[in-house]
Each structure stands twice: as structure tokens, then as C-alpha cells.
Amino acid sequence: MFLRILRDSFLRRRRRKLLTVAALALGTAVTMATLSVALDIGDKVARELRSFGANILVRAQADTLPLEIGGVDLRPLSEGSFLREEDLPKLKTIFWRHHILAFAPFLYQGGALPDSEGVALVGAWFEKSLLIEDGTTFVTGLKELRAGWEIEGAWPTDGSEPEALVGSVVAERFGWRIGDEIPVQLAAGPPVRLRVRGRVRTGGDEDRQIFVPLAWLQQASGREKVFRRLEVSALVSPEDEFARRDPASMTPAEFDRWYCTPYVSSIAHQIQEVLPGSQAASVQRVAQAETAILGRVQRLLAVVSLAALVAAVLVVLSTMTTTILERRQEIALMKSLGADNFSLGALFLAEAILLGLLGGALGYVGGLAGAQLIARSVFGASVASKPVLLPLMLGLATAAAVVGTLLPLRTLQQTDPALVLREN
């Protein structure tokens, strides 16, 4: 009997039912689209931010105070401590190894041009292929670490050839063009000639530097297989209050949670574990900017989703209130025949659940299309379909339908069959 009454009730007033389903589908579709974008595009946005530089800086733990001018460590190579180049493949063995997107070691050497003007030589990897312990190959270097750089010409090759990537400011000052040879006097040894392979313009300190292959500078300076500083670009989660706590003050359970979350601090800690004698720290301005941007994007998407669901609840509330008011005579008649408030409430709630399931299914399909549209038009990327979100969308739509029905049920409970039937 209950199912027959539910079927008849569900099939009546179809226009109003379609309006309710459309509202639930729209609210669910917006939520589905924003959630899909947040889950999939969040990583893409973080990766895009990573193209502008590293967010983790690694130095030797026993190193002396660096003397940096214009972003270059000008200490003589006879001072300070160094890290071993042969340990770098271990970075791809840490717990969050797949979040290590790129890294590059740096070695600095002062030099002099023919007019005795000083110049900073920066030895680095440009595009280095590393063999990892699991047998895979990982390509890294400045080309991956600084993917946002504007390069005129070509990147130098990694090796012992004296090639250079020169900053735009120093290149324009001396009129260097691609293919020119630059005579440079190092601190020790005979003068060397660097062939210009490319010019770089960043708007920062790099415009005043000369980048050379790390292997060549190691050989020329007598510092084989070592480097002064390491920059790492890692895909991290936005920092929260828990991430900023001191790991030494955490309980074992809290430490495991912190260690198994890709915070920039936990990844830096894991880097220290695999690089002997190293000290890793986050680049605060980069980490804070990334956290702020990703946090604001997530909050914006959450507000849009909440607004869509609230709108759907209000539509259900309005339609259900109107439905119950229009069916007061029917409700009064059923009450006079022995139906109680619980049975009548269950009837309308069951109808709301059916509407919610139908709206949730339609919203899931519409949300997938909306997510693709948003991702391609705003972020220039696509999102993958996530069937695991279907139960969530069905649950949200059903919950919205039930919440919108609860308040009208009070009108149903307060309906006096004697007064309603007497009116007619």
C-alpha cells in the first residue's frame, strides 16, 4: 500500500517534480564540477607554480655563513662545506619521492672579464638524466626546475664543454651574442673561453649571472663531484597549523601523520635523511605564496559549491511547502482514516529521497561536463572522470532534498483533519 501511494504521489504534479529535480541536479552539478576541478586542477596549479622556482633549499649542515650577493655565494671554494653529487639520486627514494618534480645542484665561482670586472659563474645541471635505484631514469636540472625562464637560443649541454647561458643584463652590457666566446679569468689557472649557447631573461638576479655546466666548473675549480647548494621543487600540500609544529614535540602518532603528509617541512625532513650532512629548509616566501594561492582557490570553490547546495535546498523547501499546502485535504483525509504523522512524513521523505537520487545522478553527469569546460577554459587542461564521486553526489543531493523537506513536515504535523475537512 505504501509503495503504491508513493508511486502515485511521485507521478503527480510532474512539472513541480521536474523543477525540484532540476534544482537538485544544478546544485549537484556545480558541486561536482568544482570538486573535480579542486581535486584534479589543484595539482596542476601547484605544478604550474613550481615552474617559477624551487620551494626547498638544501645546504651542508656544517657550512659556514654564506656570503651571498645578488643570489650568488661568493665565498672562495676553499671555504665552507660541500655536499656530494653522487648522493642526489637518493632524493627519488624518499617516502614522497613522486612529489619531487625537479632539483638542481649549484656551485659558485668568481671570475674576471678582460676589463677586470668581476662576474659570477654558476655551475648547475641543465638537463641531467639520473639512474634511480628502481631502474628508472629521472630527468632533472635547470630546464625542469626553471621551466618558466625565457631562453633565447639553446640550453648548454651537461658535460665538460665550456658552454654558457648568460643573463640578459650582463650580455647586453658587453654585447654578447649567441655563438660568441667569452674570455674569463678564474681565481686560479689560465684564462678560459666560454661559448654562449643562450641568453636568459628572468627579471631577477639571474640576469647578471653566467650559468655553466656543473661538471666543467667542478673540473676547472678542482672541486670534483661536489656542490654548494641544492634547490628542490616539490609538489606539496598547503601548510596549516599542524604543519608548522616542531616535529620534536609531536607524539609518535602525530609524527607519523606529519611524516606521511606532503608538507614542505616533512619533505625537507626526508631530504635531510637521505643526504648525509645536509640541512634542508623551505623557501618561506615561495611556500607562503603557494599556500595562500591554493588556499584561496579551494575556499572559492567551496563557497560556490555551498551556495549552489543552499539554493537547491531552498527550491526543495519552496516546492515541498507548496505541495503540502495543496494536498491539505488529502492529508486530512488520510489522517481521518487512521494515518499518523510518522507514516505521512515517511511518504514525503521517501518522495524527497527519490527526487534527490534522480537529481544527484543527473548532477553527476552535468558536473563532469562542467568540470571539463572550466578546466579547459580557465586552466587550459582537462580533468579525469572520478566514478568514486558518484555516491558522494547522490548523497549530497539526497541530503539537500531531505533537509528541504523537514520544515514543510511541520505544516503536515500541524494539520487538523477536522478543521480542514470542515472548510470544504
Q: Are 274 and 337 within one domain?
A: no
Q: What is the mean pLDDT of residues 359-368?
A: 87
In angstroms, rounded to a whole number, what is the distance separating the alpha carbons of residues 41 and 323? 41
Confidence category of residue 42, pLDDT binned at 50, 70, 90:
low
73 vs 181, more confident: 181
Q: What is the pLDDT of residues 110-127, one digit of tens each?
A: 888 776 677 888 999 999
Q: Are 327 and 372 within one domain?
A: yes
Residue 307 lies in a domain: yes
Q: Are 111 and 177 within one domain?
A: yes
Q: Are 78 and 212 within one domain?
A: yes
Q: Are 253 and 318 within one domain?
A: no
3-class state of residue 287 by DSSP: helix
Q: Are 205 and 112 within one domain?
A: yes
Question: Of 250, 282, 314, which closes a domain?
Answer: 282
pLDDT of residue 200: 93
In angstroms, rounded to a whole number, what is the distance separating the alpha carbons of residues 104 and 233? 9
Q: Are 388 and 410 within one domain?
A: yes
Instruction: Identify the weakest region by mean pLDDT among 32-41, 101-110, 154-163, 268-277.
Output: 32-41
Residue 50 lies in a domain: no
Residue 343 lies in a domain: yes
Residue 287 lies in a domain: no
Q: Are 132 and 277 within one domain?
A: yes
Please provide the average confidence, as pLDDT, over all residues in the chain. 80
Q: Are 239 and 151 within one domain?
A: yes
Question: Of 282, 309, 326, which closes a domain?
Answer: 282
How many structural domains is the chain composed of? 2
Q: What is the mean pLDDT of residues 11-23?
A: 72
pLDDT of residue 147: 81
C-alpha cell at 31: 558541486
55 vs 417, more confident: 55
In angstroms, rounded to a whole number, what is the distance separating the alpha carbons of residues 270 and 354? 50
pLDDT of residue 214: 94
Q: What is the pLDDT of residues 266-323, one digit of tens each?
A: 999 999 999 988 999 887 665 566 666 667 777 777 788 788 888 888 887 877 777 7
C-alpha cell at 346: 515517511
Q: Are 130 and 254 within one domain?
A: yes
287 vs 215, more confident: 215
Q: Are 219 and 269 within one domain?
A: yes
Residue 289 lies in a domain: no
Residue 366 lies in a domain: yes
Cβ atoms of 271 and 232 within 8 Å: the answer is yes
Range of the domain at 138: 55-282
Residue 360 lies in a domain: yes
Q: Are 141 and 263 within one domain?
A: yes
Residue 172 lies in a domain: yes
